[in-house]
Amino acid sequence: MHYRSKEITSRPPARAMLKATGLTDEDLDKPLIGIANTWTEVTPCNFHLRRLAQKVKEGIRARGGTPIEFNTIAVSDGITMGTQGMRGSLVSREVIADSIELMVESHLFDGLVAIVGCDKTIPGAAMAMARVDLPSVLFYGGSIAPGQWRGKSVTIQDVFEAVGAHNAGTMADDDLTSLENRACPGAGACGGQFTANTMAMAFSVMGLSPIGLSEVPALDPRKDHAAFRCGEIVMKNLQENRSARHFLTPLAFRNAIVAVCATGGSTNAVLHLLALAREANVELPIEMFDQIAAEVPLIADLKPFGRYMATDLEREGGVALVARKLFAAGMLADAPNVIGRTLKEEADDVKERPDQDVILNVNKPLKSRGAFAILKGDLAPEGCVLKLSGKDIQRFEGPARVFDTEQDVFTACQDGKIAAGDVVVIRYMGPKGAPGMPEMLAVTAALVGAGLGDKVALLTDGRFSGATHGLCIGHIAPEAHVGGPIAMIQDGDRITIDVPSRTLNVDANLDRRRLQWKAPAPRFERGVFGKYIREVGSAATGASTQPF
């Protein structure tokens, strides 16, 4: 078999330089496999990935390859949440994809393993894999173990909501500190069906990530063996000439959306799957998410809606068990998985305990439809994403409370100036406006902490964390920065959210106001944010910088 890396390793200057890194003639005669490691000390989600990379290398060497590790960046959503730094999160997805592509194409690697942890490293690496289209494995570092506080399991979501309770005067300083000290007991990604675990599940169902291996928790002793297996798997796919786009089919995207809907996954999956589809040249209209969510019931009792953590799901059978339930109802189609077996083969082999109640049967679901919907209307001609809470809210109508910054909402909530029945609007938070669509977990958590979580609606052209719950609508498109209708809303306008009709409308003459509206200057002209503002597209197409 001809390997791309031979173009480099057949050149004496290149061989001389690579030998200076410790490689031998024997190493350089083998296929070179890039390991894109998103290890960093800035977040627990990725803190342990350096150790896993060593095990991946062992697996590659065992099957006749030479691993070469390189790093890329990671921006922590949880750490930057509620600060100006949060606008870098979605931007980092593009930088991660660009940097992996650049390294792989420049050094002509023959295959790729990407080791990922936090929210944007997962889709960013998948986007790069679609671009380079080599034999690839996306290996997720796994979920954090749940924290234990006063007899119950807790996650970072509980800390954000405790801040809201503390601001409302219902939680003492010592209690907040005690919870903070126990919520995150070690390495791993945030522990509910938040964005990281949602995307990890989606890519396992799609086939790009090895089902049963990625979901092993971060610090579980089995994780080292899972990493070793990923090294073996990339070599097998190299030998059999199966590249990333072999798995990234229209059917695989549909399967991923089904799994996200069935498990109450993060609305960020809409953005990331739309963006990945552009990279893979797969047609994926935003309306498909709504069509699937309307058909697929919620069967996973996972946080932020439910009781259980990602570690509980893995213990009971993980992604394979979710797939088994969905296959039984005819909601999934069989497709190949990078591990070398099909999705249905993995689902058929999973063992289920008779008394487990983490994943329910489709005929006895928690809810009759998936946990989000796509709305359109006066306020969102291109569409928006409604995140439904655990309660079935079919309609909400109320006066608009309009804010141009997240901090203004947070302050208003602290000061008791948001009332039950309000429709809170946060604008100029879109891909171009913020830039980078900051997540609003600090705001939603403050509302929950103040007892308003199911009493107000929240609208934004920005995003929501996977840990958010309540009646929240994000990704409103077109965004305010480009003159979308959300820019024309005024305090007191009557806004109506109608879930059955999938509409988001306002009782106001927006066209008349548009005559007085002036486009704001971009927040950045230069640097990475300036580039992003110029290149990024609508949230309705994934906030992608890639033309279709």
Which residues are known to be catalytic?
465
Q: Look up residue 488 and give its DSSP letter.
A: G
Query: Would residue 395 be called left, alpha or beta, if left means φ above 0 and alpha means ψ between -120 and 50 degrees?
Result: beta
**Residues across the chain:** 548
* Residues with Cβ within 8 Å of residue 20, at least 6 apart in sequence: none
Nearest to 316 by CA among 343, 350, 363, 367: 350
Task: Kindly state the helix (H) or strand (E) to which residue 359 belongs, with its residue range.
Answer: none
Q: Residue 88 to residues 93, 243, 278, 283: CA-CA distances in angstroms?
A: 9, 31, 21, 28
Q: Which two tokens stand for residue 313?
A: 């799901």
Distance of CA 337 to the CA centre of its chain: 20
3-state secondary structure of 432: coil
Distance from C-alpha of 365 to C-alpha of 181, rounded to nearest angstrom: 35
The encoded tokens of residue 295 equal 């058909």
Query: Is 210 within 8 Å of 195 (Cβ atoms)?
Result: no
Q: Are 400 and 504 in contact (CB under 8 A)?
A: no
**Spatial contact of 122 and 199, defined as CB atoms under 8 Å apart:** yes
Rounded distance between C-alpha atoms, residue 69 and residue 50, angstroms = 10
- In the chain, the amino acid numbered 10 is S
Q: How many other CB atoms sit within 10 Å of the CB of residue 120?
A: 29
Q: What is the dihedral of CA 451, 457, 461, 465, to 10 degrees?
A: 40
C-alpha–C-alpha distance, residues 454 and 447, integer Å: 9
Cα 84 to the chain's mean position, in Å? 20
Kindly state the tokens that stand for 57.
Answer: 């290398």
